[in-house]
Amino acid sequence: MKIPEKLLDSLNRQVTAEHHAALIYTQLSYDLHHLSFGGMSTWMAAQADEERVHAGKISDHILARGGRVQLGTVESPGLSVSSPLDAFSYALEHERKVSEMIRDLARIAEEVQDFDSRTLINWFLNEQIEEEDSVSGIIDQLKLVGEDGSGLLRIDARLGAERTPATPTQ
């Protein structure tokens, strides 16, 4: 079934938002590298890649249903962080905004009775729960170690070992 116009507009907005999220994670990756936390920088770079995969999932859905993907303006990240806690707190705050956008998508799909997008939107609802949970877990650990250098370096090493970005910043 053709995607109803109102939902198509929102899906296109979400494609743009996922590219915006990729830029935010890329900036966070650069800033953490600058602060000498190479592992956390790698983690953020991998997250940026994941956001581009998210954009692709939605654009594939639009195209498969004969719709046109229309990218909007992707704003500059316009952020600056001075510590790992700052960086991950910023990421969590942004993920919460994205979660709200996905809930809006779910509301609109229901309003226009578009059942064909249900699987896609449910995937994103679950993904947002996981993303918020994983960033919150890292924030808890960062708060636990505080200013302790060896604790921060242990978290840095663990996060760096967890992910492999397609576009490394090191």
Is the Cβ of residue 31 or residue 131 nearer to ligand FEO in the bound state? 131
Is 70 annotated as a binding-site member? Answer: no
The contact pattern for ligand FEO, residues 72-111, with x = CB under 6 A and - = no contact, is -----------------------x--x-------------
Residues 6+ apart with CB under 8 A from 145: 151, 152, 154, 155
Nearest to 8 by CA among 49, 52, 64: 64
Is the Cβ of residue 18 or residue 156 nearer to ligand FEO in the bound state? 18
Burial of residue 53 (CB within 10 Å: 0-12, 13-18, 19+) is: exposed
CA gap 153, 138 in Å, rounded: 13
Q: How far is the CB of 101 from ligand FEO (least distance, A)?
A: 9
- 43 touches ligand FEO by CB under 6 A: no
Is 18 annotated as a binding-site member? Answer: yes
Nearest to 84 by CA among 147, 23, 129: 147
Is 5 annotated as a binding-site member? Answer: no
Is the Cβ of residue 40 or residue 152 nearer to ligand FEO in the bound state? 40
Q: How far is the CB of 14 from ligand FEO (least distance, A)?
A: 9
Residue sitting closest to ligand FEO (CB): 54
Say how far residue 114 (Cα) sits from the centre of its chain. Answer: 25
Instruction: Please tell me what DSSP assigns to residue 4.
Output: P
What token pair was written down for 67?
Answer: 């719709």
Which positions lie near ligand FEO, rule CB under 6 A? Answer: 18, 21, 51, 54, 95, 98, 131
Annotated binding residues for Fe cation, as ranges? 18, 51, 54, 95, 128
